[in-house]
Structure 1
């Protein structure tokens, strides 16, 4: 599929040219979960982020929204995790930026690095995807990379985080949706979802979106047909 032909997938993130993109870290989600040692929160995310930086050596990393989980006051552990992510980027010589999402209401209290509603990389616009971009598609933009919906797909009884990709579905542009980087989040099973079931207004035709699953154990990326063709096989 042309929408993902130039992308490299790894551990719920992707590499676009020299830019690492990840979304929906929801730092602080573990504090709300009641789980004593929540998998995927805090130190685990920092370590995985460090591994991605070491693997790809990107010049820039962009969080496509929801770096934080929603809360009224910022727990100490949240500050430590965000500081750990920033330190990992500095150590790697990578510029870390955030495109705020709908959960990032307290972002200013823990993050003083670069922020913008969206970041452009070549013909791709990276944003959270929780609101419809204002105005027309900017000149030369042929693809959006977003988060927000936390997609998963169940195949042969096993539920996996997945990327979703479709060509020409939003104002003529392609759309790629990232899974949640935070492994504590269960995610949303997309098998039987229609466009109206998605939270992002950039999803206008769910049948057009094809799941992409990264098999880390096998070291391969598996691309499946669009949901409209694939549902009856799942």
Structure 2
């Protein structure tokens, strides 16, 4: 698959794609995660922009977490993402996800249901796409995989997954998100309608310490190896 993997993101041509930032999770009544997660998201996002110098950065849905009112920390984090793109000369685009119910309150930039990069279309993935494409890049399910007892966020790459087109599912960019273990899941267990043949999905894990990806066999074969 054409594209570069880096810290839960994907770079396609001159476009940086991240998914499921869930900015604001942990700041509401149910403190599942530490409040400092926003700073981590901004710092890592800025590093990606500096490393890859994209023309455009796309959030593939769920920029925000669901809440009734927007905490000030959410506004600060979104401002930090904007600043990272502004300083790097990149345009920031959001493709809304199912959690982005309050997006208008903090985001006044470009919003597109689906964002096209040549033959690739980026969208959140909670609904079927409207556009035809050779490849879809999505988020939504927050995939992780357990290898030798250790849980790791992973990309899932599948050929011919949706009406003959390839699909790449990104892990949640918020690394405090526990994610969903995909080892034993069936297609019916995924929330995204774009994943239809789980046995053919190939997990790819970003090894932060080595700064490289580690590829594994398709899940159908991988399960037999465990």
Same fold (TM over 0.5): yes
SS at match of 2:111: coil
Q: Does 1:126 align with 2:122?
A: yes
Could you tell me which runs of 5 or more consecutive residues in structure 1 were left unpaired when the two chains were aligned: none
Q: Does 1:171 align with 2:167?
A: no
User: Which aligned segments of 4 or more residues in structure 1 are displaced greater than 4 angstroms?
Assistant: none
1:188 aligns with 180
Q: Distance in 1 between matches of 2:96 and 2:33?
A: 28
- Give the CA deviation at 1:118: 0.5
Q: Does 1:227 align with 2:205?
A: no
Map residues 12-91 of structure 1 onto 2, 5 A cutoff.
12-32=8-28, 33-34=30-31, 37-38=34-35, 41-91=37-87
1:109 aligns with 105
Q: Distance in 1 between matches of 2:122 and 2:99?
A: 17
Q: Does 1:212 align with 2:204?
A: yes
1:95 aligns with 91
Q: 1:62-93 deviations in whole A, cap 9, x for unaligned? A: 00000000001101110110011001110110
Does structure 2 retain, via aligned residues, the 8 Å contact 1:7–1:16? yes
Q: Distance in 2 between matches of 1:15 and 1:60?
A: 10
SS at match of 1:42: helix
Could you tell me which runs of 5 or more consecutive residues in structure 2 were left unpaired when the two chains were aligned: none
Q: How many residues align?
A: 225
Q: Distance in 1 between matches of 2:34 and 2:122?
A: 32
Q: Distance in 1 between matches of 2:219 and 2:35?
A: 32
TM-score by length of 2: 0.96
SS at match of 2:224: helix
- Give the CA deviation at 1:38: 4.3
Q: Distance in 2 between matches of 1:178 and 1:220?
A: 16
Q: Distance in 1 between matches of 2:39 and 2:165?
A: 36
Q: Distance in 2 between matches of 1:52 and 1:73?
A: 30
Map residues 153-164 of structure 1 onto 2, 5 A cutoff.
153-164=145-156
Change (3 A) 1:35 1:227: closer
